[in-house]
């Protein structure tokens, strides 16, 4: 059976899925045993730390969100800021 994991970042009242490319990069880094992963998201560099399971802006450490690795069916608000009711 195919096992697919989806990464999520926290919004105000729920979780957003990362876009497909970011999810691919997160899975690759996580499965390689890397401690973290750097992503360019909407023109801004973020670091996703797999120990603390948080996403933080590299230029402003106060911009921090929780992240989670779960099944794609875990309830979400949408994908990368695009709502999917």
Q: Which residues bind ligand V3L (CB under 6 A)?
A: 9, 11-12, 16, 18, 41-42, 57, 63, 65, 77, 80-81
Least Cβ distance, residue 24 to ligand V3L (angstroms): 13
State in angstroms the smallest separation of the CB of 19 from ligand V3L: 7
Q: Which residues of 31-57 are buried (b: 16+ CB within 10 A; e: fewer)?
A: eeeeebbebebeeeebbbebeeebbbe
Give 1 or 65: the residue with its C-beta nearer to ligand V3L: 65
Three-state DSSP state, 58: coil
The two structure tokens encoding residue 64: 């921090």
Residue 84 corresponds to which tokens in the numbers above?
A: 């999917």
Choose between 1 and 40: whose C-beta lies nearer to ligand V3L.
40
Least distance from ligand V3L to the Cβ atom of residue 2, Å? 24
């Amino acid at each position: 059976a195919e096992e697919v994991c989806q990464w999520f970042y926290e919004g105000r009242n729920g979780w957003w899925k990362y876009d497909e490319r970011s999810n691919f990069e997160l899975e690759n880094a996580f499965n390689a045993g890397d401690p973290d992963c750097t992503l360019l998201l909407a023109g801004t560099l973020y670091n996703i730390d797999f120990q603390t399971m948080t996403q933080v802006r590299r230029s402003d450490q106060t911009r921090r969100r929780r992240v989670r690795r779960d099944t794609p069916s875990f309830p979400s608000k949408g994908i990368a800021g695009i709502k999917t009711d």
